[in-house]
């Protein structure tokens, strides 16, 4: 699995209001980082007891890269709120798709991909939903020389 720079001491449940069937996080500030991406607290097994889903707002800084990786046995859907992003994907990362604010993206399980912010001045901001409540624990790094 890819290493994270997440502070293991952060209790994500501190951001949750409610309970008894509905949990709320207000704002959720960018408090965690993984593989070149900053994440708000979001919703996951770590704070609301989710068993099948997680959801965050992710930011890739200007000029940033989320290095090549594979989602193991879970789907990802993204909605780009701000910025321009390029995915290099597939075997050897030889395919390319570019997306802008307003685009939806679906990534199937097992598809190797690397994500690039195409701007040197503007961050990419996206809503990220996963069919894995553990967020990024089931992600492995990918070497484009593999295929």
The mean pLDDT value for 102-112 works out to 98
The more confidently predicted of residues 5 and 39 is 39
Residue 1 scores a pLDDT above 80: no
Give dist(CA 118, CA 115) in Å, integer.
9
Whether residue 133 contacts residue 54, with contact meaning beta carbons closer than 8 Å, is answered with yes
pLDDT band at 87 (very low <50, low <70, confident <90, very high): very high
Whether residue 39 contacts residue 70, with contact meaning beta carbons closer than 8 Å, is answered with no
Give dist(CA 81, CA 84) in Å, integer.
10
Lowest-pLDDT range of 4-13, 80-89, 118-127, 137-146: 4-13
Give pLDDT, residue 43. 92
Residue 135 scores a pLDDT above 60: yes
Give pLDDT, residue 5. 45
pTM of full prediction above 0.75 = yes
Instruction: Using the structure block, give the residue that is written with the tokens 């949990």.
Output: 23
Give pLDDT, residue 50. 94
The mean pLDDT value for 70-74 works out to 97
Q: Percentage of the chain with pLDDT > 70?
A: 92
Please, what are the domains in the chain? 12-141 (2.60.120.10)
Give dist(CA 87, CA 103) in Å, integer.
13
pLDDT tens track for 14-42 = 889 988 899 998 887 667 788 888 888 89
Whether residue 61 contacts residue 83, with contact meaning beta carbons closer than 8 Å, is answered with no
Closest listed residue to residue 59, CA positions, set 128, 129, 104, 124: 124
Pull the structure tokens for residue 141.
């790094």
Residue 55 scores a pLDDT above 90: yes
Residue 137 scores a pLDDT above 70: yes
DSSP 113-135: EEEEE--SSS-EEEEEEES-TTT
Quote the DSSP letter at residue 74.
-
Pull the structure tokens for residue 72.
């193991």
Mean pLDDT of the chain: 89
């Amino acid at each position: 699995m890819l290493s994270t720079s997440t502070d293991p001491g952060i209790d994500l449940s501190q951001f949750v209001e409610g309970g008894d069937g509905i949990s709320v996080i207000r704002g959720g500030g960018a408090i965690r980082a993984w593989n070149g991406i900053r994440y708000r607290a979001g919703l996951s097994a770590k704070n609301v007891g989710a068993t099948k889903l997680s959801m965050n707002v992710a930011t890739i800084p200007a000029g940033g890269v989320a290095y090549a990786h594979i989602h193991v046995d879970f789907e990802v859907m993204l909605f780009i709120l701000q910025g321009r992003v390029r995915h290099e994907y597939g075997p050897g990362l030889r395919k390319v798709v570019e997306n802008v604010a307003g685009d939806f993206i679906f990534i199937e399980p097992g598809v190797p991909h690397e994500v690039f912010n195409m701007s040197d001045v503007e961050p990419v901001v996206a809503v990220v939903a996963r069919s894995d409540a553990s967020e990024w624990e089931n992600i492995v790094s990918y070497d484009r020389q593999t295929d």
